[in-house]
Amino acid sequence: MRLNRRVPNPPLGARVDDLHRPPTRSERFRAWIEAVPTMRLYLVLTVFTWVALTALIGVGSRPPIERNVPEGIIQSGNLSRIEALLLDPNPNPWTVLLGVAMVVGIELGIAWYFLERFGLRILKTNTAIRIALAASLTILFTALARFFTEFNFNEYLTPIAGLSVIGTMLLGPRLMFLMVVVTSVNIGIMSGNDFLLTTALLLSSGFAIYTVVRVDSRQRLLKAGLFIAAVTGVVTFAVGLIGGADFSDAAWQGVLGLGSGLLSLMLAMVLLPVLEDAFNILTPMKLLEFSNTSNTLIHKLLQKAPGTFTHSMQVGTLAENASERIGANALLARVGAYYHDIGKMEHPAYFIENQIGQINPHDALSPTLSAKVIRRHVKDGLEMGRAWGLPQEILDIIAQHHGTTRIEYFYRKALEVDGDAVNEADFRYSGGLPRSKEAGIVMLADSIEATVKSLPKPTPKRIEDVVTDTINRKLDDGQFDQCALTMREIHQVGEAIHEALVGFLGPRIEYPGGADARNGKSNGKANGKANGKPNLKTAPPREIEGDQSRRAPGGAG
């Protein structure tokens, strides 16, 4: 039995306490955008972008650049062609504005067709937010180019490569390339139909896109930006030579191009962190910040649920190792695993990894109520994550790390009590099936790590059996039906997790005198015996939660 229910996003700011901070202004802004009906939002964005770009490009734009006609005798029939070349230096502003409006309309039509055709591939999360960001960046850099034009700066100083750097980091290279083409053409029109300028902007910006596409730190961004600046200088120097300038003038134009690249780098370094936070777009740099274990939310997890914290760190290491094996986003998998169980902070004592020296509260609850408490940690985690501004990719892992798996231990216990009257849906998670590769990897790592921890003597063979059994149960239960993982990748993930766990749980030298013997002291205990007698008070092995592969009651997942 599979459920397609998904845990809805909780209302922003509905709860404020130690585990839920009040929303920031940018979070309220994003919530407002998400609340607007989709078609209305797209219509408003289209009209606003069309009006803004038309005004920036067409109102008071420079007259067309001069064209030189070679001297000679005008022959019959050539006069009309020459008059067409000698463009009017003072064209009718209304006809120019109309032409610009038509061009911008065509550009927007191409953009919408592109998004309709490829949007699901390039805008996987927060589609409305990302489209609003794309429109904002296009208008912002067109306005910046207009600023340079109005104050008579050289057009080749226009830092359009900054648009490529920022947009690629936030929106990806494919959508960015379309935006760069549109913006370069518009700046060329704005500068008097200077299509040599358009060529220079296109080449330098296109190069910038593919230079930063794999940048994953601020330091690498700085190095990439300096390289982009150098290439921009070379491109503008070459365009100057093509335009007929002598060597010294072309060299000066190359210096201007270098300045444009440096301005682009400075803009990117300043605006990128601001836009990351304002639009909550997940970048590799932001992931590194979330991976810091001194992060406030992770620190709270350590304080309130130390057993869950340890479990999450180990799952993160397993998920990262498995992601590297198949080429998935290893950093996202690790960070998602760090946060996947933050919902357990609401009721930490109900989960066995936090029940050190405590009474198990499930002993006083019915199986149905116990299952409800266990299931609740997914919803609680989503509420906390949204309150603390976690990106959607991490929220998806929190919601989907159990899929729709059945809480087997309490389900079987309920069958013993109530028989056929038990409703199976009450014992299944409802966060939705994992979709991304990283969410599927975290689900496997979470289940396998918890099960292996419950083994009294985890040998490599027993760990391998746990890995194989867990994968088979998940497949039989349809937990990977909507996941991007292939069958081959699923088994590669299992192999990587198995290898990592064997490394974690490698053999240790058993000190004959117990822990105190490491300090040179004998405590009278040896090999499970106290004072020569068998130790009858050792803890029994923890039970396994059947299909869920969890330690019961409460589970570690």
Environment class of residue 237 by beta-carbon count within 10 Å: exposed (0-12), middle (13-18) or buried (19+)?
buried
pLDDT tens per residue, range 443-454:
999 999 999 988
Is the pLDDT at 541 greater than 70, yes or no? Answer: no
State the pTM of this model: 0.81
Rounded-to-integer distance, Cα 251 and Cα 257, Å: 10
Share of residues in the chain with pLDDT > 70 (%): 82
pLDDT tens per residue, range 192-224:
888 899 999 999 999 999 899 888 888 899 999
Question: How does the average pLDDT of the chain come out, rounded?
Answer: 83
Structure tokens belonging to residue 219: 């330091």
End-to-end alpha-carbon separation of the chain, Å? Answer: 20
pLDDT band at 510 (very low <50, low <70, confident <90, very high): low
Tell me the domains of the chain and their CATH numbers: 36-67+78-281 (no CATH), 285-506+541-552 (1.10.3210)
Is the pLDDT at 40 greater than 50, yes or no? Answer: yes
Rounded-to-integer distance, Cα 25 and Cα 257, Å: 38
Q: Per 3-state DSSP, what percentage of the chain is helix, strand, and coil (rounded to 5)?
A: 65, 5, 30
pLDDT band at 297 (very low <50, low <70, confident <90, very high): very high
Is the pLDDT at 141 greater than 90, yes or no? Answer: yes
Rounded-to-integer distance, Cα 519 and Cα 503, Å: 26
- Model pLDDT, residue 548: 41
Rounded-to-integer distance, Cα 166 and Cα 270, Å: 10
Cβ contacts of 25-30, under 8 Å, gap ≥ 24: 26/277, 26/278, 26/279, 26/280, 27/280, 27/389, 29/278, 30/129, 30/279, 30/280
Q: Which is higher by pLDDT, 360 or 328?
A: 328
Residue 349: its H or E element: none
138, 182 Cβ separation under 8 angstroms:
yes
pLDDT tens per residue, range 514-526:
444 444 444 444 4
